[in-house]
Amino acid sequence: MNLISVTSPHTTGPSRTQRVMAQVLLATLPGLAVLCGLFGWGSLINVVWACAAALACEAAVLRLRGKPVGFHLADGSALVTAVLLALAIPPTAPWWLTLVGVGFAIIFAKQLYGGLGMNPFNPAMAGYVLLLISFPVDMTRWLPPFEAPDLATSLQLFLGRDHGIDALTGATPLDSLRTWAGDAAALAAQPALHGTFAGLGWEWVNLAFLAGGLWLLWRRVITWHIPAALLGALALCALPFWLHDSARFASPLFHLFSGAAMFGAFFIATDPVSAATSRTGRLIYAALIGVLIWVIRSFGGYPDAMAFAVLLLNLAAPTIDYYTQPRSYGHSKPKRGIGG
């Protein structure tokens, strides 16, 4: 006899971390495709470069920490971080920008906290915020949609030869809104604000990420709680102000389909490691992100707010967990705190 002796259960479900990660990566493809369609090859180049950089950083740190490199690389989490960060960076970004962001995300925001599962902050957003604060100009140089530069130009930009880049860049819908808010006539004159149903071009980006997100929902990789609460809170905040003063405040629809709204709701805020734990906790967590996004977009100094909002709520997640433990079977009320 050659028996294996393990304790129950003796069987496990099909869910695997690698598979979860792979599905997340797959779900970003529509968004990536639309980004490339609108803004050229920059995003794809970013993604590929970021993946390579992330794997290298992760492997290096794992080796330093004396961990089995192949085993941990195989979980795919580094790739997810890299792809999400690369999608958030403008397609005009030079190579070093991506490298700095990814390096920080993997080495500082993830591995130094103990690796996968231990990081209190979403690594991709930590990297993004670092870049946004350190290189605000490079990080806000978006191209006007539907005027995608050719591959050669994109490569030039990637290599950091930015001659004439400023001639290429254009304001995003959120930029335009922030600049001209309150001036109805000027707002009406901004082409970026008048797409088919929301901001020009960005509506399609958001739609694509929404499609990917819905697929993740359908595959049960994520649950509805975070996206629904985030988008719901964002729309709910926007609605009364827009009704009150539409020359100053954007419509809920515009908010939902601008900037990183869908991307953030389905791909960033749903990162389980840095989110709250219980279902109630996640609803609260995501709703607060939604509120913060609206507040920062409407009153803050940055055109978009996903990264800040997510990081702030990452910080609050333990407190949310503290107050939202479920009531266990056979107990009359939920417990509070962490005991001990």
CA dihedral 115, 93, 186, 201 (to 10 degrees): -80
C-alpha span between 137 and 158 (Å, rounded): 15
Does residue 58 bind other proteins (CB under 8 A)? no
Nearest approach in angstroms of CB 122 to other proteins is 12
Sign of the Cα pseudo-torsion (276, 15, 117, 134, in order): negative
Minimum Å gap between C-beta 63 and other proteins is: 15
333 binds other proteins (CB under 8 A): no
Q: How far is the CB of 72 from other proteins (least distance, A)?
A: 7
Least distance in angstroms from the C-beta of 278 to other proteins? 6
84 to 143, contacts with other proteins by CB under 8 A? Answer: 114-118, 120
167, 137 contact by CB (below 8 A): no
Q: How far is the CB of 62 from other proteins (least distance, A)?
A: 10
CA distance linking residue 259 with residue 50, whole number of Å? 21
How far, in Å, CA of 177 to CA of 219, rounded? 36
Tell me if 23 contacts other proteins by CB under 8 A.
Answer: no
Contact 79, 101 (CB under 8 A): no
205 touches 31 (CB < 8 A)? yes
Q: Pattern 230-269, binding to other proteins, x per CB under 8 A?
A: ----------------------------------------
| Shorter beta-carbon distance to other proteins: residue 9 or 301 | 9
User: Angle at the Cα of 175 (from 34 to 43), degrees rounded to 5?
Assistant: 30
Residue 164 or 318 with smaller CB distance to other proteins: 318
Site residues (CB under 8 A) for other proteins? 1-13, 15-17, 19-20, 65, 67-68, 71-72, 75, 77, 114-118, 120, 223, 272-273, 275, 277-279, 282, 315, 318-319, 321-322, 325-331, 335-340
